[in-house]
Amino acid sequence: MRKSEPGRIRIGVGGWNYDAWGETFYPKGLPRARQLEHASRALTSIEIDSTYYGGKKPEIFRGWRDAAPDGFVFSVKGSRYVTNRRVLAEAGPSVERFFETGPTELGAKLGPINWQFARTKTFDPVDFAAFLALLPRSHDGVAIRHAVEVRNDSFRTPEFVDLARAHGVAVVIAGDSDFPLIADPTAPFVYARIMGTTEDAPRGYSDQALDAWATRARTWAGGETPDDLATLRPPAEAPGREVFLYVISGFKARNPLAATALIERLA
């Protein structure tokens, strides 16, 4: 079973099939069928987002696993049929169905599962605690780690941080967006999604902004908390944390360029 690798920093984007990347990221003429092969060698992680919208089949995950090199890690978005429900405590059967679609076929290349919630989902401590208790720690002999991406300001409370920390679940850090920024590390790994790329910057972000995110990633990897991001609870120190940082949304055509710029800074 795969566990976190303290101090390891993984940088990537969301998905790999985006037409504009044929102009900015992929070699000219690269067949669509080989885009994952290229992306998984230029980046160190990718967040699979299509799993949020619908189920896949185990053979699909096996194909993705085999296309990526050893050491590469995918994170996987959990199904919206789990998170887009009024009562999360009743999500057990949907959670089981999601794992039956085959994400653990990724084996050692499986990173965290990101459970993304709608902006309208508000914090109900009892219901959310029941949901976290439903999340499996392993499936088919593969260790599973979980992150929760909340988008309503009602989650910006120490009670939510305490709850996530008690379950060892990471709170997704939403950088450069209008979603609530909750920067408390709550798990043995950090999961950040930064969303501020622009068309004006040749690599999506300014050099100053890229330097800042690289410094934050190093700080998290060292087991500390960046002092320029506010937290809700006293920072929980650790010997080190594995870091997953994805360049998402913003001016999407530049996202792989921002990700590779971060990888260069962290080399």
Asked if residue 179 has pLDDT above 90, the reply is yes
99 in a domain, yes or no? Answer: yes
Residue 1, pLDDT > 80, answer no
Q: What is the CATH number of the domain that holds 218?
A: 3.20.20.410
Length of the chain: 267
Contacts for 158 with CB less than 8 Å, ≥ 6 apart? 232, 233
* 122, part of any domain: yes
pLDDT above 80 (res 2) = no
What pLDDT sits at residue 3?
63
Count of domains in the chain? 1
> Which pLDDT score, from 0 to 100, does residue 201 have?
98
Whether residue 75 lies inside any domain: the answer is yes
Query: Does residue 181 lie within any of the structural domains?
Result: yes
- Cα 192 to chain centroid distance, Å, stands at 6
- Residue 210 located in a structural domain: yes
Q: Of 181, 210, 258, which Cα lies nearest the Cα of 24? A: 258
What share of the chain has pLDDT > 90, as a percent? Answer: 95
Candidates 217, 220, 226, 214; CA nearest to 240 is: 220
Nearest 5°: the CA angle 11, 123, 173 is: 15
Residue 139's domain comprises: 9-266
pLDDT of residue 33 exceeding 90: yes
- Residue pair 180/174 in contact (Cβ under 8 Å)? The answer is yes
Is the pLDDT at 247 greater than 70, yes or no? yes
Name residue 143's beta-bridge partners. Answer: 138
Report if residue 78 sits inside a domain: yes
What local confidence, expressed as pLDDT, does residue 99 receive?
Answer: 98
